[in-house]
Structure 1
Amino acid sequence: MNLEKVNKVYFLGIGGIGMSAIARYFMQKNIPVYGYDKTASPLTQKLVEEGAEIIYQDDIELLPIGLTKENDILYIFTPAIPQNNVIFQYFKKENIRLYKRSEILGLLSQQYKCIGIAGTHGKTTVSSMTAHLLHSSSIGCQAFLGGILKDHESNLLTHETSQWMVVEADEYDRSFLQLHPHIGLITAMDADHLDIYSNHSQLQNTFKEYAKQVDNDGQVIIHYQLKEHFSDFTNTKTYSLDNPSSDIYASNIQLKQGLYHFDLVHPEGRIEDLRLNMPGMINLENAIAASALAIESGVKGEEIRKALANFGGVKRRMELVIKNEKLSYYDDYAHHPEEIKAALSSLKKLYPEKKMTVVFQPHLFSRTQDFQDGFAQSLSIADEIILLDIYPAREEPIPGVTSQIILDKISKQHKQLLRKEKLISTLKNMDLELLVTLGAGDIDRFVEPIKNELS
């Protein structure tokens, strides 16, 4: 597909965070965008405001007239679309070439020097920080992000002349193997997506395949703990939070009025007195990864210092929703035991005297089954735990796999399983001090109602 010749684009699953960034890209080029999604959301409503035409019924009668008969139309689908989707089956019956989102990102990335951020945790935060650092500098970038940058109210950044493109390199469905980055970063390779990969070792080997696709004259940057997996690579640099044995790390870390101040040590020298406005050591480590990518792409130290201090964060990434004398409320996308552990541990350190109440919506039956022990252990960091029913996404139920299997293993006494419909009224009647909502499903739909009820 020659993207320069495209005159219309149709998205199956346009409301996904990754799909919507590509939709915005084409709309900015004044190319008509159409799409289907299962339900309306704030994101689809925003896309409609920006010019997209979207339907929410799986009905071919609602497709734009002549859509399948015209040339130079690009059809993009998300792997989250079920195989029995009527529109999906219609396009296949018409022998229409359907492109995965990852294939289009791969085609787009060929037009730029690509920075691909991979890893089982932290992709969105590191990608967003990296995009912000480049966008705020003389370098600039195009960026396709998996989260909404609060400063820009968008998951897409564009630049007229920049040669750089920042993109999340997603391991799900081996999507990142469509990319051939100039700089590739890997944050973590913990077990995940075992519905796609037969075991943890296969997942790790696929990350190595991704690293091999980095340009010969490019750079692979990996977390220091992954060093042994890449011992046969010659073009690697390592980063860590504060390990002096790594190539890029923080020193002189200080917490002042809830903000991190630190120096960044890297192979070419040191950038002193950087400041980060996001809570949690995990986000400090994410900032080090993003700074490493910025340095590698030519951003100057003074530009990094200024931009990092101005970074407003990403929606649903340790997002502070309410803060007053009585209550602090954070919302986070964490949906893996290690992510939950990092988020809750960070907040415990930030608010050691506050009682922590966590609402968690498990994502996928397979993930719940695979990591039930890890979920229970991580959630037990909290003082009170509310579990919602599993968000199925693309999956059919697995017999015997419900949120109850996590609840039974949580060590804390104050725990309950709750239907979504009762969440707001339950929270309203609780004595809340530190509230955290977690999950990758539709729990985000409750953030504004919770905010309105508890503010």
Structure 2
Amino acid sequence: MRIPVPDELLPADQLGSTHFIGIGGAGLSAIARIMAARGLPVTGSDDQDTPFLPALRELGVTCHLGYDPAHLGDADTVVVTTAAREDNPEVVEARRRGLRLLPRSAGLAAVMAGQRVLAVAGTHGKTTTTGLLTSALLAAGAHPTYAVGGVLTATGRNADAGSDDLFVAEADESDGAFLVYRPHAAIVTNVEADHLDNWGTEEAYRQAFDDFAATLDRDGFLVCCADDEGAAALAASARAAGLETITVGESEGCDLRAVDPVFEGSTSRCRVVRGGRDLGELRLAIPGRHYLLDALAALAMGLRLGFSFDDLVLGLAGFTGTGRRMELKGEAAGVRVYDSYAHHPVEIAGDLQAARSIVGEGQLVVAFQPHLVSRTRIFGTQMGEALGAADEVVVLDVYLAREDADPAVTGALVAGAVPLPSGQVAYVPDFDAVPAELAARARPGDVVLTLGAGSVTQLGPRVLELLREGADGAR
């Protein structure tokens, strides 16, 4: 559901007691955590006991399971997830009582008030880049508040309330939320059509990023990855509008360049060059060219803020990822199992390229769960084509999230577009049958990769359990 952003955005300490509908999600749980850490009264509800809730409960936040009007208690303000339905009983009760209703974007803007916001936007790579920037700044001696769309493995949290004036935030464009934040500076990793269920056309989607750049402080700056056509076009228009813009990438002419990149197993590295001068080496403990470019953007922002190269690259080198971004779930019977959030064709291609550097001589076995009917309708064929970079592919049915099912748009649309022999591709609509299908296809030395933004993340542990049982039975 869509809740309008109010004309007046109050700071968090003026919202009174705040209740979160959908508090278990990555976005709302981050806002709630920051508010609770600042001593503000917070409660919430969700229909699932998600991994974000235990950390909130440790802070004393009451997190109800299920939705009930009584859960609102004495709330003055209610922050609502976009996944909520109009008939959600807590939404209905909040409206009946005339409570202040805020969308996620306004809730995040409330906790940003009074700080220098460093926003990370882009079609892909937002969560990883936000995590990289946070890790780099922490290593450089900063103490930023941060809100990330996934759990930082280094801290075990998706948000923290810092002690200085910096606020690092993942800025989501899917519903236009990033137009609310008024950041001091921003990173845009790439601009490629997505979320057309909201924006309607590719032109409107791209225009939203121009509008986003126009919300930056006039004495602020923008960092864009010029290797991406959409971000390069944004950089050009931002410069023409008088905004200081820093370009990064491997391309000639970038202000900060990655030179001589090397990808070995689960690591990557490059030389960093600025204005013809070699600043030194950038090393990462995560694989893939797209992650190297994300780190370069974070490095550029840190340098522009005045932090030292050596401190920043030390923080980047220590970054081990965020939950659901090429996350190693475990190993059993000689098979490594990874999980990643990729759900757009470009993200799929990037993660499969990274997985190739990990798998070595083994086979890459991928389970993909399409996310949203609208996205699958538009990009299903391209999703399948991107999955052709794997050796074995299992496609699940569409994860519906906030949309209703469409019998004409299923995972079969994606599976039918995978350019592999039929025996190497399977459409398995029964979710519970997928772990056995993956375990049967995997051999020692292989990598199993689960991909998608929905419940597919639950499969990794089940695959590992089956592999262990099979290994035990073979002894």
TM-score normalised by structure 1 residue count: 0.93
Q: Which residue of 2 aligns with 1:76?
A: 79
Distance 1:43 1:445, change over 3 A: farther
Q: Which residue of 2 aligns with 1:252?
A: 260
Q: Which residue of 1 aligns with 2:33?
A: 24
The 5 A counterparts of 1:163-242 are: 163-224=165-226, 225=229, 226-229=231-234, 230-231=236-237, 232-242=240-250
Aligned length, in residue pairs = 448
Deviation digits for residues 394-430 of structure 1 (CA, Å, limit 9, x no counterpart): 1112241111111122221211122111122333333
CA contact (8 A) 1:241 1:284 kept: no
SS in 2 for 1:185: strand
Partners in 2 of 1:99 and 1:256 — Cα distance? 46
Q: Which residue of 2 aligns with 1:313?
A: 321
CA contact (8 A) 1:143 1:167 kept: yes
Distance 1:142 1:266, change over 3 A: farther
CA contact (8 A) 2:371 2:399 kept: yes
Q: Which residue of 2 aligns with 1:15?
A: 24
Q: Which residue of 2 aligns with 1:368?
A: 376
Q: Percent identity?
A: 28
Q: Which residue of 2 aligns with 1:387?
A: 395
Distance 1:16 1:258, change over 3 A: closer
Distance 1:141 1:268, change over 3 A: farther
Instruction: Please tell me the residue identity of whatever aligns with 1:293.
Output: M
Q: How far 1:323 sits from its partner (Å)?
A: 4.7
Instruction: Please tell me the residue identity of whatever aligns with 1:449.
Output: R
The 5 A counterparts of 1:329-408 are: 329-408=337-416
Partners in 1 of 2:296 and 2:116 — Cα distance? 21
CA contact (8 A) 1:237 1:247 kept: no
Bigger mean CA deviation after superposition, 438-447 or 374-383: 438-447
Q: Which residue of 1 aligns with 2:294?
A: 286
Q: How far 1:448 sits from its partner (Å)?
A: 3.0
Partners in 1 of 2:24 and 2:275 — Cα distance? 42
Alignment counterpart, residue 416 of structure 1, candidates 410, 426, 438:
426
CA contact (8 A) 1:142 1:165 kept: yes
SS in 1 for 2:197: coil
Distance 1:268 1:299, change over 3 A: farther
Q: Which residue of 1 aligns with 2:57?
A: 48
Across the aligned residues of Structure 1 and Structure 2, the Cα RMSD in angstroms comes to 2.0
Q: How far 1:22 sits from its partner (Å)?
A: 0.9
SS in 2 for 1:132: helix
CA contact (8 A) 1:366 1:398 kept: no
Deviation digits for residues 35-56 of structure 1 (CA, Å, limit 9, x no counterpart): 1112222222443343221222
Partners in 1 of 2:55 and 2:160 — Cα distance? 16
Partners in 2 of 1:399 and 1:2 — Cα distance? 45
1:105 partnered with 2:108: yes
Q: Which residue of 2 aligns with 1:430?
A: 441
Q: How far 1:212 sits from its partner (Å)?
A: 0.6
Q: How far 1:238 sits from its partner (Å)?
A: 4.2
Deviation digits for residues 415-451 of structure 1 (CA, Å, limit 9, x no counterpart): 1122111122333333331110001012222333333
Bigger mean CA deviation after superposition, 125-134 or 233-242: 233-242
Distance 1:38 1:163, change over 3 A: same
Instruction: Please tell me the residue identity of whatever aligns with 2:59.
Output: E
Distance 1:85 1:380, change over 3 A: same
Partners in 1 of 2:350 and 2:233 — Cα distance? 23
Q: How far 1:93 sits from its partner (Å)?
A: 2.0
Alignment counterpart, residue 282 of structure 2, candidates 274, 289, 292:
274
SS in 2 for 1:125: helix
1:115 partnered with 2:115: no
Distance 1:241 1:454, change over 3 A: farther
SS in 2 for 1:246: coil
Q: How far 1:305 sits from its partner (Å)?
A: 2.3
CA contact (8 A) 1:261 1:273 kept: yes
TM-score normalised by structure 2 residue count: 0.89
Partners in 2 of 1:216 and 1:260 — Cα distance? 35
Structure 2: 5+ residue stretches without partners = 1-9, 469-475
Instruction: Please tell me the residue identity of whatever aligns with 2:65.
Output: Y
Bigger mean CA deviation after superposition, 360-369 or 292-301: 292-301
Instruction: Please tell me the residue identity of whatever aligns with 2:39.
Output: N
Structure 1: 5+ residue stretches without partners = none
Partners in 2 of 1:172 and 1:223 — Cα distance? 20
CA contact (8 A) 1:361 1:390 kept: yes
Distance 1:183 1:64, change over 3 A: closer
The 5 A counterparts of 1:436-455 are: 436-454=449-467
SS in 2 for 1:290: helix
Partners in 2 of 1:421 and 1:257 — Cα distance? 31
Instruction: Please tell me the residue identity of whatever aligns with 1:77.
Output: V
CA contact (8 A) 1:35 1:54 kept: yes
Alignment counterpart, residue 157 of structure 2, candidates 140, 147, 154:
154
Distance 1:261 1:2, change over 3 A: closer
Q: How far 1:328 sits from its partner (Å)?
A: 2.4
